Structure 1
Amino acid sequence: MIRYGIVGCGHIAKKHVAAIQAVEGAELFAVCDTNEERLAEFAVDGVRGFTDIADLLKTEVDVICICTPSGLHPQLTIQAAEAKKHVVVEKPMALTLEAADRMIEACERNHVKMAVVHPNRFRPAIRELRNMLESGRFGKIGHANATVRWNRNQAYYDQAPWRGTKEMDGGVLMNQAIHNMDLLLWMMGDVEEVSSYHATRIRKIEAEDTSVSVIRFKSGALGVLEAAVTIYPKNLEESLSIFGETGTAVIGGPTANWIKTWNFEDISEPEKEETIKKVETDPFGIPGHQWIIQDMTEAVKENRQPIVSGLEGRQALSLVIACQQSAETGRAVKMEDLARKK
């Protein structure tokens, strides 16, 4: 059995618990939180509880799941790596590239694995989209669009002091849209340059609540990224659209789980309807966190890198940082300037 420990017993930790319990060969061994009341909710049925991660790291735990506020991810990941523990870290892996690089280096130096939680890659509709790209059904790609039109009201930000801050939250791109940015990169490949505008229009927070960016990929294709947490009165849309010379596809809905458009030159109408029906039958599929834990469990046993590794997580973070820098300076940012320095 691969023994898991969870650090941070907040809302997202519940998804990790469910995922670990669902994966064969994985065991929830321990949990850790400085808040003893929250800790008590998770330290049940033989699961050990710790208020100090240093004590948890002294045990025979194999993998640490970091589920704390984003700004704490780097120090806890590095601490776990130095104790020779593998790491599953929630998104964003860090709020700066310098911190992300220190995390990657710590894991490499200690020969442990790191997975970053970008679970949307495993949605059934997204996997169908990826298959169409890999099989060349789009032909030459013209452009792509990623949209997050959600509602996070003021009460959401007020219920935890770290939310909406630059130091611990990072804003709409870092905290909400980074999953969509990961998908955009996974589908479209490396980015060459980005130009962005940010604004804090409605929410009383330090970070931005609205962002619009234009992207040029290394392939020559263009992209548009729109993200906001100001949509009234509830989540409206999360979508990923790709437009090519022989194909058009839109994955959307309040969350990007449904095929909205699926038109390809070499696919018949019955084939199209079959794919749409297959996704509609089970639009959520196996939970993304379960995929991540399953993959990490197998990666440890097989001594390979996880599918969404630290380097993969850094790519999405790099795009967020590029957008932020462009918005702050009023200039386009070249991604080569943010490349990892070895």
Structure 2
Amino acid sequence: MGEKVRFAVVGYGHMGKRHAKVIREHPDCELMAIVDIQDLSGDHIEPFYNSLDCFLESAIAMGTDVMIIASPNGLHAQHALRCLAAKKHVLIEKPMALNKTDAEAIVTRAAEVQKQVFVMMQNRFSPVSVWLKELTDSGVLGNIYLIQVNCFWNRDGRYYKKGNWHGTSDLDGGTLFTQFSHFIDLIYWCFGDITNIRSNFRNFNHEGIIDFEDTGLVHFDLIKGGVGSLSYTTAVWDQNLESSITVIAEKGSVKVSGQYMDKVEYCHVDNYQKPDINTSNLKGGNGTEFTEAEINHQNFIHQMLCSLRGESPEMTLANEGEKVVGMIERIYNN
């Protein structure tokens, strides 16, 4: 691997464009190509390929280190497996796949070709999320009694456009896969796996627009002890309302919030002083301002580069991405 790590992006929708922007702005990265089935000739993107196979057979692919899979959810596994077969490292936009079988196949194939697989769970790299993880791991809270996760968002006709893959069962997969898998991941990362799941789903104002629920109530037990709930919806009128995780524990209570888990709303813990948590803005190489999501994205890419270069232990996000897919499957099946 050369001085710069070289990337290609598969899928140039909203998330593909974000990936491309962050890679272009990172001093240790180089964007080699964009792959997308839509005609991007008018966007002055060079080089551009309209099929993954066409790109992987090109000379440029020979010098590419990492393939970023930002295609529709239902194509993630297919595209990741194709790139692993070509002996490329793979970064998969969430979700890793739409079922555990496909996620397991990706992990197995990566081991066979000795390449790393990363799943884009950038909210783990929010300073507030890192703090919450450290707090729960430290034992300062004592026994965890209750966690409550609220995700109250707006997704209406401005998002679900006719002919788009969003809202379809085969390419989108469901609200928990597309909108709220980051929060399932934070549950798993900070509190462990869940069991004894009880789910209740409704579609209140998206009938005829999406193939699945727009609202869900999920209750569960934490394997490590304690109980929890997840309340979520995309039926909020006009704009997002809330994203939050509340923890009630033996020695204190904590609430974090913000769409990208960037705010500590409440922290009252016995014999504990909350540290100053830095959420300062980050600028790109040409002074570009990044959003909070892009800051977390940059932090993710930094750790990924360290892992690829052997400067830190391999990131285990492939196995954990598989766990998150399995959790979502179990929630939908209960």
Mean CA deviation greater in 65-74 or 189-198? 189-198
Residue-by-residue CA offset, 1:119-170 (whole Å, 9 max, x unaligned)? 1111121112122122221111111111110000123112543111111112
3-state SS of 1:202 partner: coil
Counterpart for residue 210 of structure 1: 215
Cα displacement (A) at 1:82: 0.2
Match of 2:180 among 177, 181, 193: 177
For residues 319 and 242 of structure 1, the distance between their equivalents in structure 2, rounded to whole angstroms, comes to: 20
User: Do residues 294 (structure 1) and 302 (structure 2) align?
Assistant: yes
Q: Corresponding residue for 1:56?
A: 55
- Give the alignment partner of residue 69 of structure 2, picking from 48, 60, 66: 66
Are 1:222 and 2:227 matched, yes or no?
Answer: yes
8 Å Cα contact 1:124/1:285 also seen in 2: no
Q: 1:305 to 1:315 in 2, by over 3 A?
A: farther
Q: Does 1:162 align with 2:165?
A: yes
What corresponds to 1:324 in structure 2?
Answer: 332
Aligned to 2:159, the other structure's residue is in SS state helix
SS at match of 2:158: helix
Deviation string for 1:220-250 (max 9, x for gaps)? 2111011110012310000011111112110
User: Quick one: which amino acid aligns to residue 323 of structure 2?
Assistant: Q
Letter in 2 for 1:174: F
The counterpart of 1:246, out of the listed 228, 244, 251, is 251
Give CA deviations for 1:174-224 in whole Å, capped at 9, x if unaligned: 111110010011110122331111111211311111111111111121110
Q: State the number of aligned residues.
A: 316
Corresponding residue to 1:313 among 302, 321, 332: 321
- Per-residue Cα deviation, 1:297-332 (whole angstroms, up to 9, x for no partner): 222211876435211101111111011000xxxxxx
| 1:252-291 correspondence to structure 2 within 5 Å | 252-253=257-258, 255-267=260-272, 271-272=273-274, 275=276, 278-279=277-278, 284=292, 287-291=295-299
Aligned partner of 2:27 in structure 1 is 24
In the TM superposition, what is the alpha-carbon distance from 1:295 to its structure 2 partner? 2.3
Distance 1:255 1:68 in 2: 22
SS in 1 for 2:106: helix
Name the SS for the 2:154 alignment partner: coil
Which residue type is aligned with residue 302 of structure 2? Answer: Q
Amino acid in structure 1 at the alignment position of 2:186: L
Look up the SS of the partner of 2:180 in the other structure.
Answer: helix
Q: Which residue of 2 aligns with 1:90?
A: 93
- How has the CA–CA distance of structure 1 residues 70 and 306 changed in structure 2, closer, same or farther, with 3 Å as cutoff? farther
C-alpha separation in 2, matches of 1:115 and 1:294: 12
Give the letter aligned to residue 270 of structure 2.
Answer: E
Q: Which runs of structure 2 are paired with 1:113-132 in the superposition (5 Å)?
A: 113-132=116-135
Amino acid at match of 2:329: I
Amino acid in structure 1 at the alignment position of 2:5: I
- Describe how 1:30-49 pairs up with structure 2 within 5 A: 30-37=33-40, 41=43, 43-44=45-46, 48-49=47-48
CA 40–103 in structure 1, closer or farther in 2 if over 3 Å, else same: farther
Distance 1:198 1:228 in 2: 10
Task: State the shift of 1:296 in Å.
Answer: 2.3
Report matched runs for 1:114-153 at 5 Å.
114-153=117-156
Choose between structure 1 and 2: higher helix proportion: 1
Unaligned runs of 5+ in 2: 282-290
Provide structure 1 residue ranges, at least 5 long, that are not aligned to the other structure: 327-342
Q: Distance in 1 between matches of 2:278 and 2:232?
A: 25
Shift of 1:18: 2.3
Map of 2:286 onto structure 1: none
The answer to whether the Cα contact below 8 Å between 1:259 and 1:279 also exists between their aligned partners in 2 is: no
Partner of 1:330: none
**Paired position in structure 2 for 1:333:** none
Question: Which consecutive segments of 4 or more residues in structure 1 shift more than 6 A?
Answer: none
**Aligned residues with identical type, % of pairs:** 27
Kept in 2: contact 1:2–1:27 (CA 8 A): yes
Aligned partner letter, 1:323: I
Structure-1 residue corresponding to 2:9: 6
Tell me the distance in 2 between the aligned counterparts of 1:308 and 1:200.
Answer: 35
Give the whole-Å Cα distance in 2 for the aligned partners of 1:117 and 1:100: 14
Which residue identity is paired with 2:239? K
